[in-house]
Structure 1
Amino acid sequence: MAYPCFRTTLNLLLFLVLTLSVFAQTPNVNVTLGSHLIASDSSVPWKSPSGDFAFGFHKINGQKLFLLGIWFDGIPEKTLVWYANGDHLAPEGSKVELTLDGSFRLTSPQGEEIWKPRSSVDGVAYAALLNNGNFILTDNSSKSLWESFKDPRDTMLPTQILEVDGKLSSRLQESNYSKGRFLLRLQPNDGSIVLKTIALPTDYEYGTYFTRNTSDEASPNSSGYQLVLDKSGHLNVLLDSRSVVNLTMGREFPAGDYFYRATLDADGLFTLYGHPRAQINGRWGQTWFTIWSVPDDICSDSKGDLGLGPCGYNSYCSLGTNRRPLCECLPGFSLSDTNNKFGGCQQNSLPNCREGKSKPEDLYAIQEVPNTFWPTSSNYEQLPSLNEDECRQLCLSDCNCVVAVIKEGFCWKKKLPLSNGRKDYNTFGKALVKVSNSAVSSDEPSRPKSDTGNKNQTTSVLAGAILLEWFRNMPITAKVDVYSYGVMLLEIICCRKCLDMENENEEEIILADWAYDCYKRRKLGKLVETDEEAKNDMKKLERLVMVSIWCMQEDPSLRPSMWTVTQMLEGIIQVSAPPCPSPFSSIS
């Protein structure tokens, strides 16, 4: 049973709160008729009274292109929370203005309209950026004609409300603000929160990869009608039955004063973030950190047979730090767009069935990808009672076969393109990928060769493998030796010579802390500035560094066993994000 009076009362209270907030801020933040901003490096944005938020032009990646947006302005990261023209960036010299006749629009230097509010807005008396980050256009009676909170992009801020059938849309990429492949919606029929993929460039919605039923068990017919992020950072769904469903229930929130935002990220996760409002001892000790996110496993939860999936076609997905999807191309494939790791992969060369009388083995090789499957992608053949060697040979001799999967005694030949690929360590099997021998043999010469001055310098990847064999036969419970392994591996990665014994402990701590700082700041390239091979495989480098940091934990109980190290380096065990190796020491 619905409670219309409750809805009306609550909405009236929310309107009064907003109206009082506007009146309270009017003397300081009014953007009056005739006001404008010009897109340039020296453009000064309009700010909220608190200085926490700014509205204006945000420059994109050093280009002379700008987003009209709202961002956090009181912290080092000027994090965007709303943007007007993600699909049509504004060139330098563009202008946003509140005209004398009461309209609000963004135009190019030539006067072409780039953006204006979706709803028809006439008779604007002034604009204001409120302390909660909401930018509003109002009439002479302070009635809101349009507000950014009711026209969201990928982010919700505290006190922002998402109504029934309202939605958030992800960005295409972290640095590309065009509409992306994921959306969050508050369903109109039952008030459930759903995450879906969409068929770009249309708005057609594919299958759901996450849903949260918000119905009230005491009132089964009750449904959710508003999603709200409150000031404490909790995400709540308000129900007709006057109940509240807390989506973040049970999650520990940081003590102290924090900024919060809930963002549908470019990789498809809906994430609640926190950030300290103030410095501690004159320093920003923490950047944005994850408090809560859904789904738990986007790789496995994306089950539809349409669309790209989390990682795009001809790729496969595994979970990394904070359950983020890591995307890899199949052997013989490369990224369709080198700037988009989630955009799928394309085949480097097509099988040639007209190679004379050569044996398949002379033309092609099979490369294995363990525990990797595409359960929703179509097969063109399903062959029972075959072993791996038989499946391998059948794919080699079949011109149409590029990928076969051997699992549970069956050999499946897969149709291309493949979608929704994922690593599944709970299922025994593997993918067999056919690649040309010429492509395999061409890999080696393309690697940079060491000159005579570097003949004794082993690359970090090879050295890691050598050290692994050295330690492999040690007792699986040995942890003191694990520390030594981590030290040597990290020194080789950083191309450092052996340290003097008398300075060993101090130098090791500094090296570990420096490596951890580079890892946290996503600047691993600083560790291998002279190693081009390592730079060409940053994912492997990251895994090596993460393993070495785990090995060098100051607390011995946190160090893994050598058996676990071997499993992590070989990709059998997922490497989780390591903590600071020496939490009680610091480097300047």
Structure 2
Amino acid sequence: MVYTPFYFLLFVFHFPFHTFAQNNIAVGSTLTATDSTKPWLSPSGDFTFGFSQIEGKNQFLLCIWYANINERTIVWHANTTSPVPQGSTLRLDADFGLILRDPQGNRLWVTDGFVDKVAYGFLNDTGKFVLSRNDSEVLWDTFAHPTDTLLPTQEMEIGTMLISQRSEANFSLGRFYLRMPDNGNLVLSSKMVPTNSDYDADYYNSQTSDPSNSTNSGYKVIFSEKGSVSILKRNNATQELTPQSVSSVTENYLRLTLNFDGVLTLYRYPKGSAGNLSWIPLWSQPDNICTKITGDKGSGACGYNSVCSIDSNQRPSCNCPRGYSLFDPSDQYGNCKPNYVQTCEEPRKGSSEELFSLIEITDTDWPLSDFEQINPSNKDDCRTACLNDCLCAVAIFRSNSCWKKKFPLSNGRIDTSLDATAFLKVGKGDAPPLTPDPWREFPERKKDQGNLIIAGSTLLGSSVFVNVLLLTALLYGFFFIYKKKIKAFSPNNLSNLQYFSYQCLAEATNQFEQEIGRGAFGIVYKGEMPVGWGNIVAVKKLLDRVAHDTDKEFKTEVNVIGQTHHKNLVRLLGYCDEGQHRLLVYEYMKNGTLATFLFNDLKPCWRQRTKIALGIAHGLTYLHEECSTQIIHCDIKPQNILLDDYYTARISDFGLAKLLMMNQSRTNTYIRGTIGYFAPEWFRNNQVTVKVDVYSFGKLLMEIIACRRSLQGEEICAANIVALADWFIHCFQEKRMVLLVEDDAEALNDMEKLERFVMTAIWCIQEEPSSRPTMRKVSRMLEGTVEVHVPPVPYPLTSITSHASLE
């Protein structure tokens, strides 16, 4: 027993030190994107954080991967738009967390969403990288910002999602999503790249929504430390997704990944394995993605004109049918094109029998491309009907019926249960090539030039001098007509916006049937664009007085709006400028306005509200300082803040105030804005600046904090009611800010942030514009990266004798 302390000390020093201390990464630490830079390791050495070189390229990805597996398996990555060049750097900064810059110093990516200073970073043994304060409280972590993979101990709440990669070697955003909407179902869906607009149907649904009892609905996905994946319901019940007999996490690495082909798979890899093993699939959904994607928009599991088949691991394989080839030979899952030219335009050099043949294929179908059904029919009639129809790409014969289908062919799949025969049209090998008529797109130009050529031929028989004069006139006429025709084919084209005809938008909105909002600029209708767009849109029909008779100015301002691009702005997709009709086509935000979100019986959580406030501040900063042309919104209010699928704040109606004021005098008689959000300078002969938006944001921030309107409609004329701003100032002066959030436990436990938000709001509503901070400074005040000093009282308070009614 005498030697016990000695053996104990020997054991302690022999045991790996990382079991007793974290490998903290100090502020100021950097990594450089080179093949020789050592990455940051987790204590056990299982996970690595750093730059991984893209195979065969001089580019790198900032990511987390397994350190002890020969096959490089990435479980998280930053900068999801593209890899970064060699020489890029990552720095751990106290104010901003992780900052990724290219070799020229341009910022490519940064962590955000926290307000306290970072003390250190740490990659733990679960594969999670965290940024922490001095007291070890986590400010930001990769588990809360997943890419395409979940790891044991990780959770995915409502509003979080996994997005597949574009392809096995391309880490940009793909077209498959795993998400949990508000109804509590965990769903897999496909989206249109690059707009990321939802297609109609989900191809997997966990069935964890209960409309009759919301407490029985799903709340979050939990990947337990034991390795099972389940859905936690609001009543604390769980629904298991994976089998109970999941492999042990102590003996295996486990990951749940949404693969680039849309299949969600749980994998295991034995720890300590020698040799080049592969990941072993344990569970996946859906069981057959080829047949489970059934929506009438999009290409299906594979590209257009392709055929999907399922392998033994329930993963799709995509192949072009005979007579077709890939548009992009490097993308097996992409679109296919026919190796022949099929056109209904004359002249055709040969009959259909001479130009085309039909290949007979069994158990293959493209179910969503029908344009005609022949019933009854037989095989021979079906074959002949497709061969002689210039629109027919393939015909499917089944149950004495013939379905003719046209390009593009979507949702192609092999299905042995069909009992069907497909007749696929292909070009004959000896068929002469079909040359498209070069004048077909511009028939008027062909006619005009043809007439000029005939005239020129006649004139050449006259004297040389006359011919020279007339030839000069001929050339002038040619270029005049050419310029006129070219202009006629793009009359309203703006550089980066889609032009829509009025008829197209009328059809998309079902003759403007479903109104979803209205305001000072016009009425908004819900619309569904034609096939090819595959998305729901919001169509704003502008009032007649908006930029009336100012065609050039209208297009200029719409072009400015169309050039904006920020995650906290509603994106303008297109426009219509046809006679008296002027319409704007926007992204559709299905979660409605911030007003609806804030002012209802169920108060949103404090974390959501502060995130929304930051998002609005960032969006306004972009409009004021970062976009190519400065934009003053002039009407910031909760009705003009929309919420996307994941409750991210998106500012709408920016830039429209200038359109409305084009033919108006800039005097105090013409006020833009809404009662309760007016800046004082609107009532004076002062020039309007970006500070009017700062003032309105201050009023809006108060509403976000308290979940109460700045001024109720019935309060406008009620002298004995205290406005929300007065109440805020009074509560701040009396140090009774708890009254502003009432019984909101989350906010009450975050008093430092609450005080910072309240003081920022009061700074924003200062009487003099020069006393208000810029929106960039407001953003930093809210984030806590700059100190917020005690604000002065912005103006004499109205009567506070009835403030108790608001308490």
| Bin for the TM-score computed over the shorter chain | 0.5 to 0.7
The CA distance in 1 between the partners of 2:127 and 2:376, in whole Å, is: 62
1:422 aligns to 2:413 (yes or no) = yes
The CA distance in 1 between the partners of 2:276 and 2:343, in whole Å, is: 57
* Displacement after TM superposition at 1:335 (Å): 1.2
* Aligned counterpart, 1:113: 107
Distance 1:405 1:38, change over 3 A: same
Structure 1, residues 62-88: CA drift from partner, whole Å, max 9, x if none?
211000000010222221000002312
* Displacement after TM superposition at 1:358 (Å): 3.5
* Displacement after TM superposition at 1:233 (Å): 1.7
Aligned equivalent of 1:199, options 174, 192, 212: 192
* Displacement after TM superposition at 1:414 (Å): 0.7
* Aligned counterpart, 2:368: 376
* Displacement after TM superposition at 1:44 (Å): 0.5
Aligned equivalent of 1:68, options 62, 73, 94: 62
* Aligned counterpart, 2:303: 312
The CA distance in 2 between the partners of 1:241 and 1:440, in whole Å, is: 68
* Displacement after TM superposition at 1:130 (Å): 0.7
* Aligned counterpart, 2:31: 37
Distance 1:382 1:343, change over 3 A: same
The CA distance in 1 between the partners of 2:325 and 2:192, in whole Å, is: 22
The CA distance in 2 between the partners of 1:381 and 1:101, in whole Å, is: 63
8 Å CA contact retained: 1:56, 1:70: yes
Amino acid at match of 1:203: N
Distance 1:402 1:384, change over 3 A: same
- Root-mean-square deviation over aligned CA pairs: 2.4
Q: Percent identity?
A: 41
State TM-score, norm by structure 1: 0.67
* Displacement after TM superposition at 1:438 (Å): 2.2
Question: In terms of Rg, which structure is larger?
Answer: 2
* Aligned counterpart, 1:15: none
The CA distance in 1 between the partners of 2:283 and 2:150, in whole Å, is: 14
* Displacement after TM superposition at 1:431 (Å): 1.6
8 Å CA contact retained: 2:117, 2:133: yes
8 Å CA contact retained: 2:96, 2:110: no
Distance 1:38 1:168, change over 3 A: same
* Aligned counterpart, 2:231: 237
8 Å CA contact retained: 1:53, 1:73: yes
* Aligned counterpart, 2:338: 347
1:89 aligns to 2:80 (yes or no) = no
The CA distance in 2 between the partners of 1:148 and 1:429, in whole Å, is: 49
Distance 1:121 1:133, change over 3 A: farther
* Displacement after TM superposition at 1:215 (Å): 5.3
* Displacement after TM superposition at 1:408 (Å): 1.3
Structure 1, residues 533-577: CA drift from partner, whole Å, max 9, x if none?
xxxxxxxxxxxxxxxxxxxxxxxxxxxxxxxxxxxxxxxxxxxxx
8 Å CA contact retained: 1:26, 1:128: no
* Displacement after TM superposition at 1:439 (Å): 6.8
Range moving further from structure 2, 82-91 or 340-349: 340-349
* Aligned counterpart, 1:450: none
The CA distance in 2 between the partners of 1:216 and 1:246, in whole Å, is: 17
Amino acid at match of 2:239: V
* Aligned counterpart, 1:541: none
Amino acid at match of 1:75: I
* Aligned counterpart, 1:227: 221
Structure 1, residues 506-547: CA drift from partner, whole Å, max 9, x if none?
xxxxxxxxxxxxxxxxxxxxxxxxxxxxxxxxxxxxxxxxxx
* Aligned counterpart, 1:277: 271
1:396 aligns to 2:387 (yes or no) = yes
The CA distance in 2 between the partners of 1:329 and 1:232, in whole Å, is: 42
Higher RCO (Cα < 8 Å, 6 or more apart): 1
8 Å CA contact retained: 2:96, 2:111: no
The CA distance in 2 between the partners of 1:436 and 1:147, in whole Å, is: 56
* Displacement after TM superposition at 1:122 (Å): 5.3
1:413 aligns to 2:408 (yes or no) = no
State TM-score, norm by structure 2: 0.49
Amino acid at match of 2:368: T
The CA distance in 1 between the partners of 2:36 and 2:77, in whole Å, is: 19
Range moving further from structure 2, 429-438 or 54-63: 429-438
**Gaps in structure 2 of 5+ consecutive residues:** 1-17, 434-807
Aligned equivalent of 1:363, options 352, 355, 362: 355
The CA distance in 1 between the partners of 2:53 and 2:246, in whole Å, is: 36
Structure 1, residues 153-195: CA drift from partner, whole Å, max 9, x if none?
0000000010112111010101110011100012222x21100
The CA distance in 1 between the partners of 2:142 and 2:431, in whole Å, is: 53
**Gaps in structure 1 of 5+ consecutive residues:** 1-23, 443-588
* Aligned counterpart, 2:377: 386
Structure 1, residues 133-160: CA drift from partner, whole Å, max 9, x if none?
0001112222111100000000000000
Structure number having the greater strand percentage = 1
* Aligned counterpart, 2:164: 170
Amino acid at match of 1:420: N
* Aligned counterpart, 2:150: 156
* Aligned counterpart, 2:573: none
Distance 1:55 1:431, change over 3 A: same
The CA distance in 2 between the partners of 1:46 and 1:285, in whole Å, is: 24
* Displacement after TM superposition at 1:198 (Å): 0.8
* Displacement after TM superposition at 1:220 (Å): 6.9
* Displacement after TM superposition at 1:94 (Å): 0.1
Amino acid at match of 1:333: Y
Structure 1, residues 81-127: CA drift from partner, whole Å, max 9, x if none?
00002312110000000136554210000001111124256511111
1:208 aligns to 2:199 (yes or no) = no
The CA distance in 2 between the partners of 1:357 and 1:126, in whole Å, is: 74
8 Å CA contact retained: 2:305, 2:320: yes
* Aligned counterpart, 1:143: 137
Distance 1:147 1:421, change over 3 A: same
Range moving further from structure 2, 154-163 or 243-252: 243-252
* Displacement after TM superposition at 1:231 (Å): 2.2
1:127 aligns to 2:121 (yes or no) = yes
* Aligned counterpart, 1:568: none
